[in-house]
Amino acid sequence: MATDEHQIERHLTPNGWITGSEWVNGAQTKKVEPPKDRIETWVEEISDSSEGWAPPTAFSKMVWEATNVPAQVRAELTERFPRPEYKPWKQIGRKRRKLADCY
């Protein structure tokens, strides 16, 4: 069963989040230079079944942080601008029908 791996960089700046570079199955599909005023950089990794047999899974990890930004400022920014996250789809349950309803 095949899965697609998708990575997305997200940079926290004083004005909010900016989407950065992206990779699909290890190949870079979009290259974006990190903003000069970034506070943090996170990479979100999404694993998705190509055949749709299971919902996608996603997790994020911080890969860079500015050492010259006080923790209080970072906390205020993350409260003001929540980190955007991928929302995996939910499987839709099938409505059970009686055999008699089919005729």
Q: What is the pLDDT along the chain (103 residues), one digit of tens a residue?
A: 567 889 999 999 999 999 999 999 999 999 999 999 999 999 999 888 766 667 778 889 999 999 999 999 999 999 999 998 766 555 556 666 666 665 6
Structure tokens at 3: 């899965």
Contact 72, 79 (CB under 8 A): no
Put residue 56 in one of left, alpha, beta given phi > 0 → left and psi -120 to 50 → alpha: beta
Does an H or E element contain 75, and which?
A: helix 71-80
Check residue 58 and give its pLDDT: 84
Q: What is the pLDDT of residue 34?
A: 97
Distance CA 22, CA 36 (A): 18
- How far is it, in rounded angstroms, from Cα 43 to Cα 27? 15
- Residue 48's pLDDT is 80
